[in-house]
Amino acid sequence: MNKEDRRIVRVELGPQSYDIVIGHELGASLIDFVRGRRYSRQALLVTDSNVGPLYGEQVAALLAEAGLHPVVYAIPAGESSKTLAIAEKIYTCIIEHGLDRKSPVFALGGGVVGDLAGFVASTYMRGVPFVQLPASLLAQVDSSVGGKVAVDHALGKNLIGSFYQPDAVFIDLDFMKTLPKREIATGLGEIVKYGIIYDALFFGFLEQHPDDVLALAPEAAVHMIARSCEIKAAVVSKDEKEAGQRRILNFGHTMAHTIEQETGYVRYNHGEAVAIGMVGAADISRRLGLIDAETQGRVVALIQHLGLPTKAEGCTVDAMYAGIFHDKKTVNGTVHWVLMDGIGRTVVKNDVPEDIVRAAMAGVLA
């Protein structure tokens, strides 16, 4: 893929607008971008114990070529690192290295790295520049786009955070060469979501080309990553801080977050939990008469075809039901369920009966 083949998706947010650059061999583009900004020379590169050994030195060298002096901080891979305790260790590191309010923070890794590094960037000196370099399919199509940054609390996921937009997102498809199959599947969970909530044609593309999608065939990979980013960018541009339409991006997440929490964030990764949550949300949608059994079946069939789970182990209905009231989308004890009104269409309901919710939860338990 040459420079002309690269895809650029613009996230329109007024003065905070930025580009998502998608393509292969984006090193030169990253160098040009950094040289064009008025950053301080001291910089922070946050990565993790999985991605750092593969790409950390390479990216640090690019930043150095662009004129920066990057401090590399690698966290242990996994959701358990997304905490205030780890954030405090990073603050200590960058204070000791003299980073100032124009020092950029770069996030090289998956969603955990992006969320944590973004949270640090949003709070250090009341906000320093932030650039996303997502290295997992999930981060490329979900957490790196839209400006949500956060850390977890023992009582719930992403409860401590803010909305903080990056200066840019560089999605280098070469990073995907080393992705394990499970990491590909977890990204596909969020990609399927975009078809369900926004674009029936895109959902059909995933149904018709499952082998190319699973193999990350070049054309399929570029299309599904770019289309996912376009959909999220369109939603975020209309509703940056989740006052209304942006809620649709949470389809499947209400159950997913309870599954992740109840299984200690170790049994299921995020995309797997979202897949199960989408099966549950589709079930609620059918029970309420919003969709028919055939539409529900298409959702379940695609999720299964892409190698994602549809059932959760290690959970109970009682604990899952209690857990949804700790979700950050629950207001005054009212759960706002994002549900299907067809493929490509959603509706938000805050009056779903408890018996329907419990029945759907029982349906997704192994």
Whether 70 and 64 have beta carbons less than 8 Å apart is answered as: yes
- The better pLDDT of the pair 131, 328 is held by 131
Can you say whether the dihedral through the CA atoms of 100, 104, 108, 110 is positive or negative? positive
Nearest of 354, 352, 355, 280 to residue 312 by alpha carbon: 280
Percent of the chain with pLDDT over 90: 79
One-letter amino acid of 359:
A
CB within 8 Å of 196: residues ≥ 6 apart: 203, 251, 278, 299, 340, 343, 344, 346
Task: Give me the mean pLDDT over the 113-141 stretch.
Answer: 96
Is 10 among the catalytic positions? no
Task: Give me the mean pLDDT over the 63-68 stretch.
Answer: 98
Q: How far is CA 329 from CA 154, 167, 324, 325, in A?
A: 17, 27, 9, 9
In the chain, count H helices and then E strands: 14, 11
**Catalytic residue, candidates 247, 253, 286, 287:** 253
- What is the rounded average pLDDT for all residues in the chain? 93
Is 227 among the catalytic positions? no
**Catalytic residue, candidates 6, 227, 257, 286:** 257
Whether 364 and 279 have beta carbons less than 8 Å apart is answered as: yes
**Catalytic residue, candidates 6, 148, 227, 287:** 148
Tokens 């060469």 locate to 177
Q: What pLDDT is stored for residue 142 in this prediction?
A: 86
The whole-angstrom separation of Cα 260 and Cα 258 is 5
**Catalytic residue, candidates 227, 240, 247, 250:** 250
User: Could you tell me the domains of the chain?
Assistant: 3-178 (3.40.50.1970), 181-363 (1.20.1090.10)
Number of Cβ within a 10 Å radius of residue 207: 17
**Catalytic residue, candidates 190, 230, 262, 272:** 190
Banded model confidence at residue 2, pLDDT cuts 50, 70, 90: very low
Query: Could you report the per-residue pLDDT of 153-178, keeping only the tens digit for each?
Result: 988 888 999 999 999 999 999 998 88
Is 24 among the catalytic positions? no
Nearest of 187, 228, 229, 192 to residue 209 by alpha carbon: 192
Instruction: Write out the two tokens for 198.
Output: 């926004």
Q: What pLDDT is stored for residue 326 in this prediction?
A: 74
Q: How far is CA 168 from CA 10, 29, 130, 131, 352, in A?
A: 10, 11, 8, 5, 39
Q: What pLDDT is stored for residue 1 in this prediction?
A: 42
**Is the model's pLDDT at 288 over the cut of 90?**
yes
Task: Give me the mean pLDDT over the 240-259 stretch.
Answer: 84
**Is the model's pLDDT at 37 over the cut of 80?**
yes
Is 250 among the catalytic positions? yes
Task: Give me the mean pLDDT over the 88-115 stretch.
Answer: 97
How is the beta sheet containing 130-134 ordered, strand by strand? 7-11, 18-23, 168-172, 130-134, 105-109, 42-48, 69-75
Percent of the chain with pLDDT over 70: 95
**Is the model's pLDDT at 4 over the cut of 50?**
no
Is 246 among the catalytic positions? yes
Is 242 among the catalytic positions? yes
Task: Give me the mean pLDDT over the 288-297 stretch.
Answer: 98
**Is the model's pLDDT at 3 over the cut of 50?**
no
Q: What pLDDT is stored for residue 242 in this prediction?
A: 60
Q: What pLDDT is stored for residue 51 in this prediction?
A: 96
Query: Could you report the per-residue pLDDT of 342-365, keeping only the tens digit for each?
Result: 999 999 999 999 999 999 999 999
Task: Give me the mean pLDDT over the 81-96 stretch.
Answer: 97
The whole-angstrom separation of Cα 309 and Cα 280 is 12
Task: Give me the mean pLDDT over the 95-123 stretch.
Answer: 97
Task: Give me the mean pLDDT over the 330-339 stretch.
Answer: 82
**Catalytic residue, candidates 6, 193, 227, 232:** 232
**Catalytic residue, candidates 38, 126, 177, 181:** 126
Is 270 among the catalytic positions? yes
